[in-house]
Structure 1
Amino acid sequence: MSSIDEQVSRVNDSGRPPVVFVHGLWLLPSSWRRWEELFEDAGYAALSPGWPDDPDTVEEANAHPEVFAGKGIGEVADHYAGVIARLDRKPAVIGHSFGGLLAQILAGRGLSAATVAIDAAPFRGVLPLPLSALRSSSPVLTNPANAGRAVPLTYDQFRYAFANAVDEDEAKQLYETYAVPAPGRPLFQAATANLNPWTEAKVDTENPDRGPLLVVSGERDHTVPRAISWASYQRQQRNPGTTEFVELPDRGHALTIDHGWREVATTALTFVRRFQ
Structure 2
Amino acid sequence: MTNYKTIVFVHGLHENAESWKSWKLFFEKTGYECHTPNYPFHDGIPDELRQNPNRELAKIRMNDVVNHYVKFIDSLGGVIPILIGHSMGGLIVQKLVHLEKGLLGVCITSASPKGVLSFKWSFIKSNWGAINPFKGNSLYCGTREWFHYAICNTLTRQESDEIYEKDVVPESRNIPRSSRFGDGMIDFNKPHKPLLFISAENDHIIPTSLNLKNIASYKDKHSIKDFKQFKGRSHSLCVQKGWEEVAQFIEYWLIKNTKI
Is the alpha carbon distance of 1:16 and 1:41 closer, same or farther for their aligned partners in structure 2, counting shifts above 3 Å?
A: farther
Distance in 2 (CA, whole Å) between partners of 1:273 and 1:129 is 36
The residue identity in structure 2 corresponding to 1:186 is I
The residue identity in structure 2 corresponding to 1:253 is H
Contact preservation (8 Å) 1:129, 1:228: no
The residue identity in structure 2 corresponding to 1:80 is Y
The secondary structure found in structure 2 opposite 1:266 is helix
> Please, which of 200, 207, 224 is the counterpart of residue 225 of structure 1?
207
1:26 corresponding residue in structure 2: 14
> Please, which of 65, 68, 92 is the counterpart of residue 79 of structure 1?
68
> Please, which of 242, 251, 265 is the counterpart of residue 224 of structure 2?
242
Q: What is the TM-score with the length of structure 1 in the denominator?
A: 0.87
Residue 206 of structure 1 pairs with residue 158 of structure 2: no
Residue 268 of structure 1 pairs with residue 250 of structure 2: yes
The residue identity in structure 2 corresponding to 1:254 is S
Is the alpha carbon distance of 1:32 and 1:260 closer, same or farther for their aligned partners in structure 2, counting shifts above 3 Å?
A: same
The Cα of 1:207 is off from its aligned counterpart by 3.0
Report the identity percentage.
27
1:141 corresponding residue in structure 2: 131
Aligned positions of 1:3-14 closer than 5 A:
none
The Cα of 1:237 is off from its aligned counterpart by 4.6
Number of residue pairs aligned between Structure 1 and Structure 2: 255
> Please, which of 111, 128, 139 is the counterpart of residue 150 of structure 1?
139
1:196 corresponding residue in structure 2: none
Is the alpha carbon distance of 1:239 and 1:153 closer, same or farther for their aligned partners in structure 2, counting shifts above 3 Å?
A: farther
The residue identity in structure 1 corresponding to 2:84 is I
**Residues 167-205 of structure 1: CA deviation (Å, up to 9, x unaligned):** 222111111111111111122223x43xxxxx1011233
User: Which stretches in structure 1 are left out of the alignment for 5+ residues?
Assistant: 1-11, 194-198
The residue identity in structure 2 corresponding to 1:261 is W
Distance in 2 (CA, whole Å) between partners of 1:57 and 1:242 is 37
Contact preservation (8 Å) 1:125, 1:235: no
Contact preservation (8 Å) 1:124, 1:203: yes
Is the alpha carbon distance of 1:98 and 1:202 closer, same or farther for their aligned partners in structure 2, counting shifts above 3 Å?
A: same
> Please, which of 35, 38, 43 is the counterpart of residue 31 of structure 2?
43
1:93 corresponding residue in structure 2: 83
Q: What is the TM-score with the length of structure 2 in the denominator?
A: 0.92
Distance in 1 (CA, whole Å) between partners of 2:225 and 2:35 is 24
> Please, which of 42, 53, 57 is the counterpart of residue 68 of structure 1?
57
The residue identity in structure 2 corresponding to 1:263 is E
1:166 corresponding residue in structure 2: 155
